[in-house]
Amino acid sequence: NGMEGIRKVFTSELQTYISELEDVMHQKGYTDRQIQIYGTVWRNITSYATNRPDQEFTEKFRQQFLQDVYAEALENPNSMYRITRAVNILSDFTQFHVIFRQYCTSKTTFSEELKEIFLGFLSEEKKRNFAKNTMKSIRVRLLRFHDYLYDTGIRDFKSVSGKTINTYILSMARFSTTYVSESLREIKRMLTWAFDNHYVDEKLYECIPHVKNLRQQKIPSTFTTNEIEQILNSVDRSNPIGKRNYAIFLIAARLGIRSSDIQALTFSNIDWDKNVIFFTQHKTGRSLLLPMPNDVGWAIIDYLKNGRPETNAKNIFVSHNYPYEEFLSIKSIIPRQMRCAGIKTPANKRIGMHAFRHGLATRMLENDVPLPVISQTLGHADISSTEVYLRISMKQLSKCGLEVE
């Protein structure tokens, strides 16, 4: 039971924590500017808390704060990142007295005192011939564990205990099952290697639970048919940007194409004579050919004739800021449109363009379209990716009802 690693923190204590946190960040070499940016958010938390004295500083409180104070700012991916980062730094510090770093470059190093085990294990992992990016991920996950140990005062692996590991696991509570299970698997391998090579005397690896990484645990966020119509109807199509966004939403809703592929669509990807869209998927590298519904075709034509600025860009959808190049921030247009349409979502849960794709899959399931056909339409490389959607189709789930004894 690692719960003893976390103590209750009340909003009245936050100011003390924030002063201490700022000192620690200065010591760690954060710039005044960085601390100032986070400090604005922390000041907002303390003033928000003065109206709610004696409340526990819990995840629920933090969610409510984001919703009440920052709802609009969270629509912009950059400010969302900054604001939630500030809230997470404070929450980590109050609970674990640790500041987890945000970025790890290839120059980010392990401490002198602890590096022997981490670097030794990493060179061992290299022998498994992982792809470059996989090695990078492994290193980042181990750096997070290293920072935790170092910040909690551990300078020698022999003083790591089961309780240390339990509390570290608690510090990952806000991450996805995938992240947690992969991190723990990596740490377990490292601790096993450390024991086998006599770096540690205890079988610390036995303290690490096996977290099954079930892709199926995560229910895809999806739009209902009603919400899709609400979003489409809320777009102001009398201006060029509205025409562009409407065509993008329609392609996502009717064809379920991923935003990276919509972004990359060029004129050569459409055959107007045959009324089809064909392209190579960015994610899987496989080609996909889809029939183009009439409303999608007309929305694209409307944008090309009456909305798209004069530009040499090959992409169909372009940015409307000079010099009108490829439109790279497709993901940022959906949160704003959802607010126009009056659709609410939790403050820190980003519902993106993929919810259109999931919505299409669900509707096809509801209409009894066979899984292989859905898989083909969505361009999945593996049908198990499509099976994830079975969990959001009530109609299909009802067929699995069991008799109650």
- In whole angstroms, what is the distance from residue 364 CA to residue 66 CA? 35
Q: Report pLDDT for 275.
A: 92
Relative to beta strand 287-291, strand 276-280 is: antiparallel
Could you give the count of Cα atoms lying within 13 Å of 188 in the half-sphere of its Cβ?
14
* Catalytic member of 155, 158, 203, 283: 283
Residue type for position 233: N
Q: Report pLDDT for 380.
A: 79
The residues with which 290 forms a beta bridge, in sequence order, are 277
* Catalytic member of 308, 350, 357, 363: 357
Contact 389, 374 (CB under 8 A): yes
H helices present in 97-161, as ranges: 115-126, 132-151
Please give the share of the chain, as a percent, with pLDDT higher than 70.
89
Region of poorest pLDDT, from 166-170, 246-250, 335-339, 361-365 = 361-365
- In whole angstroms, what is the distance from residue 338 CA to residue 355 CA? 12
Average pLDDT along the chain:
85
Relative orientation angle of helices 14-27 and 32-50, to the nearest 10 degrees: 170
Q: Report pLDDT for 390.
A: 67
Q: Sorting pLDDT into bands at 50, 70 and 90, what band is 87? A: very high
Q: Mean pLDDT throughout 108-120?
A: 90
389 is catalytic: yes
Q: Of the ranges 1-10, 90-99, 214-223, which is most confident?
A: 90-99
pTM over 0.75: no
- In whole angstroms, what is the distance from residue 318 CA to residue 160 CA? 54
Compare 342 and 268 and report the one with higher pLDDT: 268
Q: Report pLDDT for 391.
A: 62
Q: Sorting pLDDT into bands at 50, 70 and 90, what band is 232? A: very high
Region of poorest pLDDT, from 77-86, 166-175, 188-197, 338-347 = 338-347
Q: Report pLDDT for 372.
A: 80
Q: Which residues of 178-189 are buried (b: 16+ CB within 10 A; e: fewer)?
A: ebbbbbbbbbbb
The single residue listed with the structure tokens 């050569």 is: 268
Region of poorest pLDDT, from 149-158, 208-217, 271-280, 395-404 = 395-404
354 is catalytic: yes
H helices present in 277-366, as ranges: 294-306, 333-340, 354-366
Q: Mean pLDDT throughout 123-137?
A: 86
Closest CA to 379 of 223, 256, 242, 216: 256
258 is catalytic: yes
Give yes or no for residue 113 having a pLDDT over 70. yes
* Catalytic member of 258, 308, 358, 363: 258
Q: Of the ranges 8-17, 78-87, 217-226, 294-303, which is most confident?
A: 294-303
Q: Sorting pLDDT into bands at 50, 70 and 90, what band is 225? A: confident
Q: Sorting pLDDT into bands at 50, 70 and 90, what band is 3? A: very low
Q: Mean pLDDT throughout 89-112?
A: 85
Which residues, 6+ apart, have CB-to-CB distance to 71 below 8 Å? Answer: 347
Q: Sorting pLDDT into bands at 50, 70 and 90, what band is 357? A: confident
Give yes or no for residue 157 having a pLDDT over 50. yes
Q: Mean pLDDT throughout 356-381?
A: 81
Helix (H) / strand (E) element for 291: namely strand 287-291
Give yes or no for residue 378 having a pLDDT over 90. no
Q: Mean pLDDT throughout 53-61?
A: 86
Report in angstroms the alpha-carbon separations of 185 from 106, 145, 153, 200, 351: 22, 12, 24, 18, 29
- In whole angstroms, what is the distance from residue 384 CA to residue 371 CA? 10
82 is catalytic: no
* Catalytic member of 146, 243, 254, 354: 354
Give yes or no for residue 4 having a pLDDT over 50. no
Helix (H) / strand (E) element for 279: namely strand 276-280
